[in-house]
Amino acid sequence: MKAYHFLKDDMCGGYGSEPVWKIGEEREIKDGELRLCERGYHSSPSWYDALGYAKGSMACIVEVSKPEYKDDTKQVSRNRKLINARNAEKVLRDWGCDCAERALKKAKVTDERSWNAIKIARLYIKGAATKGELDAAKSAARDAAWDAARDAAWDAAWDAARDAAKSAAWDAARDAAKSAAWDAARDAARDAEVKWQKRRLNWYMNKLFKEAQ
């Protein structure tokens, strides 16, 4: 069955000392009991779910044998074959910025420092801003958050701007999706927001793999 997984940038797994994976390679655990989060080849049913466990930027499409154990976001199998892999750092940064922008709009944020953090983050993705400029934008967004610390809506907006400005793509994407957007779109709206995030992430990932063909 088709599933999704992330490897570290060196194509190694996030845990343990297993060797580098190669596209087309299949591995199997023949003996012993599998345990979710402990032993076996893990994967997720969607890119969104897989991102929550990412330890690197290598997005992988995999084929796995029938899962022996699973929960809502992950599963463990005896076999896993690496079908394709692409470095997703840039698209995940873009996606994180998209999520943060939506959160700022929902919170009706007007402070330019918060919006500038996302602007600089997008320029950084394109190589048009330095790490120093990115850090400065993050610091300014932090100041904006402190200025409005008594307002819950501003707190949510700061989470969005801060996460979009982080240099680590995983923190930016994961936190912007799970923290900023969830705070900005609570209860019933939260579910609708997560659905949008999943669709948007799928669009980015499909585009990444299609362009790499």
Phi and psi of 73, rounded to 5°? -120, -10
3-state secondary structure of 138: helix
Percent of the chain with pLDDT over 90: 50
Give residue 211's identity as a one-letter amino acid code.
E
| 9: phi then psi, degrees, rounded to nearest 5 | -60, -25
C-alpha–C-alpha distance, residues 81 and 61, integer Å: 9
Instruction: Give 148-203 pLDDT, tens digit per residue.
Output: 554 545 455 545 544 544 444 455 555 555 544 445 545 567 788 889 999 999 99
Name the pTM for this structure: 0.76
Do residues 10 and 85 lie in contact, with contact meaning Cβ atoms separated by under 8 Å? no
